[in-house]
Amino acid sequence: MNEAIEIMEERPVKYEYNRREQLEIFEREFLPHLDAMYNFAYRLTLDEDDSKDLVQDTFMKAYRFINSFQKGTNSKAWLYRILKNSFINDFRKKSKTPAKVDYQEVENFYNSDDVDEQNTVDLRVETLKDMIGDEVSNALNSLAVDFRTVIILCDLEGFTYEEMAKILDIPIGTVRSRLHRARNLLKEKLREYAASMGYRE
């Protein structure tokens, strides 16, 4: 359980907030991210009830470990990290549909230079312009959760590579290669959708 909540700092620090300060941090720095957190949870679990549970768990853990949070720092990244760890530790285990791919294996493979050959998905800008939300959603949701996650964190939430590395507990080089792979998989999915929908050039 505790490993789920390792704090962002390299040097663990304990702050001593009184009750009033704790509630104030919670209200001003944590709760404003509720909307983004709920949506992140939904994009991971693809289920409304699970998202609700995951978000509640995340906020409870955040409060329990509030003395590890430095007031005024990057609360969003801190909360995302807790949410992502809760997802892995609590949700993925009991999930009815376990991850289809061992991503570490996939990653080791694609960290090699072979990845260069993957730049050539035939997809055109004109095709994208006609796509609707459902198609984009379906394409994204069809990716293995680790690939989906990096795209959400980067494109939707605008986290930097460094923040993503901290949220995901992986080196920056891995963020880069996982993103690269994820973008190519997404392009491939979008191309498939476009083809099945009969979009023309």
Residues in contact with other proteins by CB under 8 A are 18-19, 22-23, 26-27, 31, 34-35, 38-39, 42, 48, 51-52, 55-56, 59-60, 63-64, 67, 116, 119-120, 122-125, 128-129, 131-133, 136-137, 140, 151, 154-156, 160-161, 179-180, 183, 186-187, 190, 201
CB nearer to other proteins: give 145 or 151: 151
CB nearer to other proteins: give 63 or 110: 63
Using the Cα atoms of residue 1, residue 93, residue 175 and residue 51 in order, give the sign of their dihedral. Answer: negative
Residue that is written with structure tokens 């962002």 in the block = 8
Query: What residues contact residue 70 under an 8 Å CB cut-off, 6+ apart?
Result: 9, 13, 15
Q: How far is the CB of 100 from other proteins (least distance, A)?
A: 22
DSSP states of 101-150: S-HHHHHHHHTSGGGGGGG-----HHHHHT--HHHHHHHHHTS-HHHHHH
Query: What residues contact residue 72 under an 8 Å CB cut-off, 6+ apart?
Result: 29
CB nearer to other proteins: give 3 or 114: 114
Q: How far is the CB of 12 from other proteins (least distance, A)?
A: 16
- With beta carbons less than 8 A apart as the criterion, state whether 41 and 50 touch: yes
Q: How far is the CB of 102 from other proteins (least distance, A)?
A: 25
CB nearer to other proteins: give 65 or 103: 65
